[in-house]
Amino acid sequence: MSSGGSAWALAAGWVLAVLCGGAWGLDSHCLPGGKHKAAPSPEGQLGVCQIYANNACCSPKVAQEVSSSPLAKVNDIYWDRCGSLSPRCENYLQRVECFYRCSPSAARWPHPRRPTAMLEVPLCQRFCEEWYTACKDDLTCAHNWLSDWQWGPQGNNCSQDCVPYSQMYRDGRELCENIWGDSFVAAREPCPCLSLPDANASLEEPDPSQAGGPWGPCPASSLRRRDRGGRHQRSVFMEDVEGSGSGF
């Protein structure tokens, strides 16, 4: 096998191992606090998050919040402040939310300052572009959905005009690396990365036609496992209090 083929095969195995829950033996853990369970376990009905049901960090009640349609409020953030989301855009937001809430793999990237949050999870560039395409004609008024709101008695309110996603973000990379703060980073295959599936899809493998070269340049976070030892030294778990109530 060529070096390029070997790189792609390793990347594909990494993606499948992470999403299926077999790599590094870390999938007996969930992100702490917030709406996460103390430890992952099988669940029955998780709606749009069903793909994680065999070993889930979310309860059916939390999954129902993500599965509700129209998707009006998740993590105490109203996602429809600029009008209803299109089904395609809603689907991608749900896929991201399901991973954060329900996948034990999210605990591989704990945030050093916000224990309930993730830091720089590597999403495949192709996934980011598909997300951007799905949402580009929808409207939003926040570039960073963790910080760019005005908060009041009715929750999060726009602090700027509603504009299409295609005006708020120039491409999929900017969307992935900004909409949920520093939760995600975009990586081009064959860098190890995740393409988050929806409830009706099988797990995706990297597309070798999209590869940008043998393993480079890759985001640092996609090439190493973040050690969870730092989490063990914290005695108090913060709740989801990033202003919005979101652990992202």
Stretch 195-212: mean pLDDT: 54
72-76, 91-95, 186-190: range with highest mean pLDDT: 91-95
| CB 56, CB 163: distance < 8 Å | no
Predicted local confidence at residue 219, as pLDDT? 66
Q: What is the DSSP string of 116-179?
A: TSB--EEEEHHHHHHHHHHHTTSEES-SSTTTSEEEETTEEEESS--EEHHHH-SSHHHHHTTT
pTM > 0.85: yes or no = no
- Span 123-144, pLDDT tens digits: 999 999 999 999 999 999 999 9
